Each structure stands twice: as C-alpha cells, then as structure tokens.
Amino acid sequence: MPGFVRQHLRPLAGAVGLHLLLFALIVATAWRWSSTRPPVPMAIEGVAIDERSLPKDLAGPRPAPAAPVTPAPKPEPVEPVPATPAAPPNDAAERQRAAEAQAERERTAEAAREQAALETRRAEEAEAATAEAALPAVPADSEQILLSDGGCRTREPGGARGSSVEHG
C-alpha cells in the first residue's frame, strides 16, 4: 500500500486540493446566501431644482392640468314591478281544494323520502353482505381481534400464544 501512495502522490494531492476548494466555495456561498441583503430602493429618481434658478416665465406656482370632464353615465330608469300578492281563496270550496292539494304534495314527498331511505338501507345491507361474504370462515370458538388498520386477527383457542392469522 505505501508504494501506491508514493506512486500516485501528485494526483491524490490534486484531488484533495480540489475537494477542499469546492468545500470552501460551498461554505462561502451558503454563508453569503443566508446573510440579510439590503432592501432594494423602490423610489423614483428625480432632480430637485431651486426655484430661484429658473427663468421668470417658469418661476411661480404652476396651474394644475385640467382633467378632461367626462359626464357620469345616467342610470337607466327602472320600472317598478307591481307586487301582485296571491289573492286568498274567497270561498270555502277553493280553500278546501287548496288544502287537499297541499296535503297530496306532502304525502307524495313523504312517500319519496321513504322510498329513498328504503333503497339506501337495501344498498347498505347488500354492501355489508358482500363484505361479510368476502371474509374467510372463522371457527366459532376462535377469538377475533380488530386491528387499527381495519383488518382483523384471529387467535385459535388451542394455539400457542404467538400463533395468529391475519385477515385483510
């Protein structure tokens, strides 16, 4: 091994020097990058002129430039919509027909809600039956342990302490 180092001393020294130079460059860059930089000036540059050095015709306050006058848009007149409240039924027969129609609408809505609830319940039962059918059969005297990830572990009654079967 000493012969190898003596034979390759210059290339090894060059490699070490190059690595030290790269390491120093990385450290210097990291140090400059983390330092705070001065804020960038955002002001508009201008030149201040002393009023006394101006010619007479330019000295004094300047009049403000006249802004073009634009007429404000006129709002379109809005026609009031007369409110026509629904007239209450005048006689008892009309009131009774309205009440029957309302009751019929309520019965129809209730029947639709019951039908939707029944369909939902049937879908949940079918889903539960499908999920139950997918699980492997477990002997009745075994113990099931539910895991936190949703699976279950079955321990056989006569098995050793560490023997268990995991189900997904």
Q: What pLDDT shows up at residue 133?
A: 77
Mean pLDDT in residue range 50-77? 73
Task: Indicate the helix (H) or strand (E) that contains 35.
Answer: none
* Percentage of the residues of the chain whose pLDDT score is greater than 70: 67
Rounded CA gap, 4 and 27, in Å? Answer: 32
pLDDT above 70 for 22? yes
**8 A C-beta contact, residue 125 and residue 138:** no
Highest mean pLDDT among 41-55, 78-92, 116-130: 116-130
Kindly compute the dihedral angle of the four CA atoms of residues 106, 107, 111, 113, in this order, to the nearest 10 degrees.
20
**8 A C-beta contact, residue 120 and residue 105:** no
Mean pLDDT in residue range 35-44? 73
In this structure, what token pair is assigned to residue 51?
Answer: 């009023």
Mean pLDDT in residue range 103-113? 94
pLDDT band, very low/low/confident/very high, at 4 (cuts 50, 70, 90): confident
pLDDT band, very low/low/confident/very high, at 79 (cuts 50, 70, 90): confident
Task: Indicate the helix (H) or strand (E) that contains 28.
Answer: helix 9-34
User: Where are the domains positioned within the chain?
Assistant: 92-134, 138-168
